[in-house]
Amino acid sequence: MFPSIPKIIASTMLLLAGPATSMSLPTQQAADYSMGFIGCSMSENVAQGYAAIGAKRMWGPYGTGGLVVQSWTDSNSAAWQKFDQQAAKYGKPSAVWVQICIFANPGATYAEVKQLIANARSHSAPNATIYLTGQPQYDAGQYCFLAGQGGAELTDRLAQQAANDTTQNVLYPGTFILHTAEVQDGCHANTAGQQSLGKQAVAFWG
Ligand SMILES: *[C@@H]1O[C@H](CO)[C@@H](O)[C@H](O)[C@H]1NC(C)=O
Ligand SMILES: *[C@@H]1O[C@H](CO)[C@@H](O)[C@H](O)[C@H]1NC(C)=O
């Protein structure tokens, strides 16, 4: 749903009415569900935790399980059709989080990552802000069996590479972390892990 104008005005007034101490230029309040995302089950883990703690800028989970990089390189893929359904529901997003998710084989190349960025732009509102991250990183000695040993690190490096590349105009907000006690199957987050990831996402983009 689009937030109603009265709702936007109401939340603006709430901001204005806040105590003087919290008045130091509040970061621009983004409308509810104005931020999309692409990724896989790991992104759903983030979106689940994000919703569970009451955050609303970003969409909720929408069935992206298994959708690694190669599911998103073709701009007309089934994955992008799912994205477009969300965009039709909430409006084209003004920001998009691209999570680089891989299976150990074939992994991903930087060329593929650049294609994801181009596709994210073409499926979003003009000038949408694009955030890039890798999969969550684990405690020393742990790795996600789906991405393979060193796989999560590769995705994080690719995200940083894109942010360092001035031709791409994307932001790298930081590294998602999943500690051992927050992992349920060697890869995905358990309930505590989802909430931790949700809080990390709020710290990254509100
Ligand atoms: C997009 O950004 C460019 C460059 O900053 C600007 O010239 C253009 O007006 C913006 N377009 C929209 C729709 O905001
Ligand atoms: C990106 O730039 C940062 C800051 O200069 C640097 O620490 C990092 O190693 C770079 N990463 C890649 C993958 O280029």
Residue 3 CB: number of other CB atoms within 10 A? Answer: 16
Q: What is the pTM of this model?
A: 0.85
Protein residue with least CA distance to atom 13, ligand 1: 126
Ligand 2 binding site (Cβ under 6 Å of any ligand atom): 157, 160-161, 164
Q: What is the mean pLDDT of residues 199-206?
A: 98
Kindly write down the DSSP assignment for every residue of the chain, as one continuous string: -PPPHHHHHHHHHHHHHS-GGG-S-PPP-PPTT-EEEE--HHHHHHHHHHHHTT--SB----S-TT--HHHHSSTTSHHHHHHHHHHHHH-S-SEEEEE----TTT---HHHHHHHHHHHHHTS-TT-EEEEE-SPEESTT---TTT-TTHHHHHHHHHHHHHH-TTT--B-----EE-GGGBSSSSSB-HHHHHHHHHHHHHHH-
Q: What is the mean pLDDT of the chain?
A: 90
Four-point Cα dihedral 71, 77, 81, 83, nearest 10: 30
Ligand in closest contact with the CA of 156? 2
pLDDT of residue 1: 42
pLDDT of residue 48: 98
How many degrees, rounded to 5, is the angle at CA 103 between CA 112 and CA 202?
Answer: 80
Lowest-confidence region among 14-18, 42-46, 106-110, 136-140: 14-18
Q: Identify which of 114, 154, 156, 164 to mutate to test ligand 2's pocket (most ligand atoms within 8 A of the CB).
A: 164
Ligand in closest contact with the CA of 129? 1
The percent of residues above 70 in pLDDT, for the chain, comes to 86
Choose among 117, 78, 91, 104: nearest CA to 30.
Answer: 91
pLDDT of residue 29: 73
Residue 123: inside a domain: yes
Give dist(CA 8, CA 118) in Å, integer. Answer: 30
Residue 27 CB: number of other CB atoms within 10 A? Answer: 7
Residue 26's pLDDT band (boundaries 50, 70, 90)?
A: very low
pLDDT at 5 over 90: no
Q: What is the mean pLDDT of residues 32-40?
A: 98
Distance between Cα 127 and ligand 1 center (Å)? 6
Residue 28's pLDDT band (boundaries 50, 70, 90)?
A: low
Protein residue with least CA distance to atom 4, ligand 2: 164
pLDDT at 56 over 60: yes
Distance between Cα 162 and ligand 2 center (Å)? 10
Residue 15: inside a domain: no
- Mind listing the pLDDT tens digit for each residue in 149-168? 999 999 999 999 999 999 99
Residue 130: inside a domain: yes
Residue 7: inside a domain: no
pLDDT of residue 30: 83
pLDDT of residue 23: 42
Residue 124: inside a domain: yes
Residue 73: inside a domain: yes
Ligand 1 binding site (Cβ under 6 Å of any ligand atom): 126-127
- Mind listing the pLDDT tens digit for each residue in 87-117? 999 999 999 999 999 999 999 999 999 999 9
Residue 106 preceded by cis peptide, ω within 30: yes
Q: How many domains does the chain have?
A: 1
Which CATH number belongs to the domain containing residue 183 in this structure? 3.40.50.1110
Q: Identify which of 160, 161, 170, 172 to mutate to test ligand 2's pocket (most ligand atoms within 8 A of the CB).
A: 160
Contacts of 26 (CB under 8 A, 6+ apart): 15, 18
Contacts of 52 (CB under 8 A, 6+ apart): 194, 195, 198
Distance between Cα 18 and ligand 2 center (Å)? 39
Residue 6's pLDDT band (boundaries 50, 70, 90)?
A: very low
Residue 72: inside a domain: yes
Lowest-confidence region among 28-32, 53-57, 128-132, 166-170: 28-32
Residue 144: inside a domain: yes
Domain that holds residue 83: 30-205
Protein residue with least CA distance to atom 2, ligand 2: 164
